[in-house]
Chains A and B, each alone.
Chain A
Amino acid sequence: MKKNITLKINGQEYTHEAEPRTLLVHFIREIEGLRGTHIGCDTSSCGACTVLIDGKSGKSCTILAVQAVGKEITTVEGLATAEGPHPIQEGFKENHGLHCGFCTPGMMLRSVELLSKNPNPTEEEIRWGISGNLCRCTGYNNIVKSIIYAGAKLRGEETPSTEPKFVE
């Protein structure tokens, strides 16, 4: 039986009729048309569907839309502001942190939570921190660099060089 579900996504309230079995990812993508949140595996493994719920990352393919009622949801569409891209978006752009871009929204949202809790993570902490997000093409190194870059930017420090290093 359908009923009205109101969710607050990127600061805006959306009310729609949906069945309780509607997964959060479908509410966000199909009902609201916010297609930046991706569906990869649909089995809670790949992290492409990661969104922030009250600032904590979660896999929206494994959460019912009704479970998110009353919470603040952030999707990739909510990262940039009028001033420009979010530092994590800048980090991914400057460091070639993506190839096809399929995993990127989930990677970035997970990274935002990671950096909010641990503003200056070690490379190992970053790698464990994104272990629930799979990337099939970039190869993680540039993703890790992107997160290090965003961390520096968020701390107000000089960002590391993005010049590629060539090996003779």
Chain B
Amino acid sequence: MIPSVFTYKKAGSVSEALQLKAENEDSKFLAGGHSLIPTMKLRLSSPSVLIDISKIDTLRSITEEGNQIVIGSLVTHAEIVNSDVIKTKVAIMSEGASMIGDVQVRNCGTIGGSIAHADPAADWPAILKTVEATVVIEGESGKREVNVEDFFQGVFTTDLTEDEIITAIKVPVPASGTKGTYQKFMQPASRFAIVGCAAMLTISNGVCQKARVTIGGAASTSFRDLGVEKALEGKELNAQNIENASKIAGNGVQMTSSHFATNSYRQHLTKVYTQRALESLI
């Protein structure tokens, strides 16, 4: 399988990428290519111009700025798995990244490419909602920042406009006493999430001060489960309270049905994986 014909252009900087995008109507950015190239090979996507942004070095760093970790959009999943800053400050991200595809996929795929693609079965959307990340976007008209909650809008749909590029993802360093985990039931061949649960709890004297629980894979887009969060906050974190909270996970949400898993199975898995994730944190 070979993609249809396109013109290849390389951008050396963000401004050059934006200029090329403005000049070429039917164009797409190419980052790691691990979502785009498979879709182009299947001819589900046939852009006439590819703008290779993978050589823009300013988008590859992981830095700490005050109480935030700023991850360039071109940082690969593998770099997140191995980053000491991320491992020590927001371990849920390196843990989650280590479950994406396989090593070869993680060596190529980027965090920016994953969120721009917004596959409902991808892992980053759920993880980034739980850590309450912000997406930094640049366009011809300037820079803006969007909360991930508002960034993801549906199946393969985001708040990004045609002429914009994601430059970074900002993650607040969680308060002390916060623990997080990402657990997923994966499609055995691709390892995409059939259901994934990203849970983060701030615990003080055994009591849950703050809970963030996001479910990915299960529905058309990942969703924070506010019901579960409310059932945990202010409560002692014991097995019974966790079981009670997990029982209501995903309630009222229209789940996806596919040949991998029916909607009722996904409902069930949502509860099971929420419980497993939460139990592992106490």
Which residues on A are within 8 Å of B, measured CB to CB? 1, 19-23, 26, 42-45, 47, 50, 53, 56-59, 62-64, 66-67, 110, 113-114, 129, 131-133
Contact = CB atoms under 8 A, between A and B. Distances in A.
Contact of A20 (B7, B38, B107): B7
A131 B50 CA distance: 31
A52 to B, nearest CB: 10
A21 B6 contact: yes
Interface string B38-65: 1001000000001010100000000000
Interface stretch (B97-105, B213-221, B250-258): B97-105
Given A57-B107, A63-B33, A132-B103, A44 B38 contact: yes
Contacts of A133: 102
A44 B54 CA distance: 19
A19 B104 contact: no
A23 B2 contact: yes
A43 B44 CA distance: 14
Most buried by A among B2, B54, B108: B108
30 contacts: A1-B5, A1-B7, A19-B5, A20-B50, A21-B2, A21-B4, A21-B6, A42-B1, A43-B38, A44-B38, A44-B105, A47-B102, A50-B104, A53-B107, A57-B103, A58-B108, A59-B108, A62-B33, A62-B34, A62-B37, A62-B38, A63-B108, A66-B8, A110-B104, A113-B103, A129-B103, A131-B102, A131-B103, A132-B103, A133-B102
Contacts of A23: 2, 37
A123 B104 CA distance: 19
Given A20-B7, A58-B108, A63 B37 contact: yes
A38 to B, nearest CB: 14
Contacts of B78: 56
B81 to A, nearest CB: 11
A79 to B, nearest CB: 17
Contacts, number: 72
A67 B52 contact: yes
B34 A45 contact: no
B33 A67 contact: yes
A20 B8 contact: yes
Nearest to A53: B107
Contacts of A21: 2-6
Nearest to A55: B107
Contact of A132 (B38, B52, B104): B104
Contacts of B7: 1, 20
A157 B229 CA distance: 52
Contacts of B37: 23, 62-64
Given A43-B38, A63-B108, 17 more contacts: A20-B8, A20-B50, A21-B2, A21-B3, A42-B1, A45-B189, A57-B103, A57-B104, A57-B107, A58-B104, A59-B105, A59-B108, A62-B37, A62-B38, A62-B108, A114-B103, A132-B105
A37 B168 CA distance: 35
B104 to A, nearest CB: 5
B2 A132 contact: no
Contacts of B189: 45
A77 to B, nearest CB: 19
Most buried by A among B33, B102, B108, B190: B102
